[in-house]
A and B are shown apart, each in its own frame.
Chain A
């Protein structure tokens, strides 16, 4: 069953087509990757799906329903979470609060509940904090809930961002270069973590990645973008042999 689908998605900035007629299909419960050289339009594709950029042409479907015209908050409420290429936490909030913000769409407390401290609000708040603490443990940040996000080391900030994205109990998570800036050891941990996500939580994963070892190691299927266009798709071993992909990464050999 297809969870996320784009149909001929196009996004232009002036004369430049950052994403051009891209169609992808991500089945439920899979780990798919998007690769491509810098400026290939990978992040733009993510930004279209999550509602930051309205696409100029084409359609996007999530669980069979269109996402066209949805603002980012509404897209998130459908069950799509994401992380960012350059970590974007709420720096002056604690780790726990960051996760609680992530859980925002799942919670029901409105301002009247908040002011009156209704029983409903207390129960929900208590449960939310407990779940946030569990998520902290899950990403390996046990006991660091009271630290400000900005004071965490780089690697832990990445993990916290992941926990925040998970707090929404999403069906699909979009990871933008989750291993950027990590050493091989940390990358390996991250790969294991991503696999666990699917196994333990049943979350579908679409990731952008530069590290070929990571991509080839965990992806079931890979889309290759270059200059906004989909130039190849297939399982990792096919992609590795594809002449177009090799060309776009290494350049054309002059005959």
Chain B
């Protein structure tokens, strides 16, 4: 029985700590708003939604109860007791925190100085616009009651199913439907993969119709990062060249379109489409020119040199020397958007479509390249450059090719980015861009096309959804990377190759990429 109590209270402890973290970063406000708006609840507080918060707490409490009950020996009374124990732990933790926050607020301590999200209105929300004591008791009460209910609920479902293995059965069913299974079938059959891509295409073509202007813009940003991720994926994921100056090619794409289409500083105004082609060619050429001297270096040295190159481009753009030609720190304004048959389409929606088309092309290119002689040469270089050369592969040529392809993708990304914003300036081209793209590769899974898409959504999409986390962006990045390295070093949606490596332990016959289907 002792162990049961321990397990349950540990569940409660984890939930408690996470909820306190949410409170401190102001996520409770967002959540209560979302729940409140969905259920159309009235609110007593200035920000957030008090009743929404109560519902949120109740849902969390039910969850705690179910989790807590599942660790217990299964009878009605132990279920109830252990889930209440879990709930009680959370209740005490959260209740005390709310009480402390409430008291401090009542004592006129300005907590905002330390925790930006703890404004006075948000504290009012936390104590349900009551006094600290009743607020914290109410909070604790909700957790205790809902967790007890959760315990009973889980027991009830179990009795109904009449199975001791309720959780196991559930998990088994669930994992049948899980992403993992979907991914396995997805990878094992090339035809199904095309169905997958077709589905993705259909969704990406439909979704913009239903999104607001803001969301179309946000998704466009995600899309541009997908595009760049696909490019860097070739350089880092396939050819194994660790480049940290990827933003340079993005900047070259953006500035080429800017300079060629904007009225100032150089009045060429040749229109978007020729400028787009020019930006791709120029980015690829720069990739080759940079690559020629630099690609003789390997590993860390290459990373440092490319990092430097990215900074050089940014500093050059900012410099007084180049400002008559590049617009200096003010950047370039009034960049022209694309027109088709004289019709200009510059809405967020139109750009999103344009970006999706760019992504599809990039996926098409990447897919064909990686399953060919070229892709194999890249992988061989990544695995063992010396031996790759001894196999008759002209390593410099293939490394340059990888660099140029990656740079061209970034050039497209930069061109679309600049045209969409009708502006580009040095602030758009910081080191953070390179780091973001590299991070999304790591999070999504190196060398994996779906991984790039997932990674871009996680890294650029989530911060849009949870704007409250904006302030903690870098913190979240760091945390996410550490967690990923520990829990899923291969990324969220790893390449089938990595899956092969990991599933090699069990003797199930792994499947090769669809080389044969060519």
Contact of B512 among A96, A101, A109, A128 (CB under 8 A): A96
Identify which of residues 67-105 in chain A touch chain B, using a CB-to-CB cut-off of 8 Å: 71-73, 76-77, 82, 84, 88, 90-94, 96-97, 100-102, 104-105
Decide if A90 touches B389 in the complex (CB within 8 Å).
no
* A146-154, A208-216, A222-230 - interface stretch: A146-154
**Interfacial chain B residues near A125, Cβ < 8 Å:** 372-373, 515, 518
Decide if B518 touches A88 in the complex (CB within 8 Å).
no
Number of interface residues of A (CB under 8 A): 45
Contact of A90 among B379, B394, B498, B512 (CB under 8 A): B379
Chain A nearest CB from B368 CB (Å) reads 5
Given A111-B369, A114-B375, A148-B500, decide whether A94 and B512 contact each other with a Cβ distance below 8 A: yes
Decide if A101 touches B376 in the complex (CB within 8 Å).
yes
**Interfacial chain A residues near B512, Cβ < 8 Å:** 94, 96-97, 145-146
Chain A nearest CB from B499 CB (Å) reads 11
Given A50-B390, A97-B376, A101-B393, decide whether A91 and B383 contact each other with a Cβ distance below 8 A: yes
Given A115-B368, A146-B511, decide whether A104 and B390 contact each other with a Cβ distance below 8 A: no
Decide if A147 touches B390 in the complex (CB within 8 Å).
no
Decide if B497 touches A92 in the complex (CB within 8 Å).
yes
Decide if B504 touches A148 in the complex (CB within 8 Å).
yes
Identify which of residues 339-391 in chain B touch chain A, using a CB-to-CB cut-off of 8 Å: 364-365, 368-369, 372-377, 379-380, 383-384, 386-391
Decide if B390 touches A114 in the complex (CB within 8 Å).
no
Decide if A110 touches B374 in the complex (CB within 8 Å).
yes
Chain B nearest CB from A116 CB (Å) reads 8
Given A101-B380, A168-B392, decide whether A117 and B387 contact each other with a Cβ distance below 8 A: no
With the chains together, A40 CA to B393 CA distance in Å? 30
Decide if B500 touches A73 in the complex (CB within 8 Å).
no
What 1/0 mask marks residues of chain B from 495 to 518 whose CB sits below 8 Å from any chain A CB?
001101100100001111001101
Query: Does A126 have its Cβ within 8 Å of any Cβ on chain B?
Result: yes
Decide if A104 touches B395 in the complex (CB within 8 Å).
no
Query: Does B401 have its Cβ within 8 Å of any Cβ on chain A?
Result: yes
Given A76-B390, A125-B518, A129-B516, decide whether A146 and B509 contact each other with a Cβ distance below 8 A: yes
Chain B nearest CB from A97 CB (Å) reads 6
Decide if A76 touches B372 in the complex (CB within 8 Å).
no
With the chains together, A119 CA to B364 CA distance in Å? 17
Decide if A111 touches B376 in the complex (CB within 8 Å).
no
Contact of A147 among B368, B377, B510 (CB under 8 A): B510
By beta carbon, the residue of chain B nearest A165 is B391
Given A145-B512, A151-B504, decide whether A122 and B518 contact each other with a Cβ distance below 8 A: yes
With the chains together, A164 CA to B390 CA distance in Å? 11
With the chains together, A76 CA to B390 CA distance in Å? 6
**Interfacial chain B residues near A113, Cβ < 8 Å:** 372
With the chains together, A48 CA to B403 CA distance in Å? 30
**Interfacial chain B residues near A168, Cβ < 8 Å:** 391-392
Q: Knowing that A93-B380, A104-B392, A125-B373 touch, tell me 4 more A-B residue pairs with CB under 8 angstroms.
A: A90-B388, A101-B393, A111-B374, A146-B509
Can you offer 17 A-B residue contacts whose CB atoms are under 8 A? A90-B387, A97-B379, A101-B377, A101-B388, A104-B377, A105-B391, A110-B374, A115-B365, A115-B369, A117-B368, A122-B518, A125-B372, A125-B373, A145-B512, A148-B501, A148-B504, A164-B391
**Which A residues fall within an 8 A CB radius of B?**
50, 52, 71-73, 76-77, 82, 84, 88, 90-94, 96-97, 100-102, 104-105, 107, 109-111, 113-117, 121-122, 125-126, 128-129, 145-148, 150-151, 164, 168
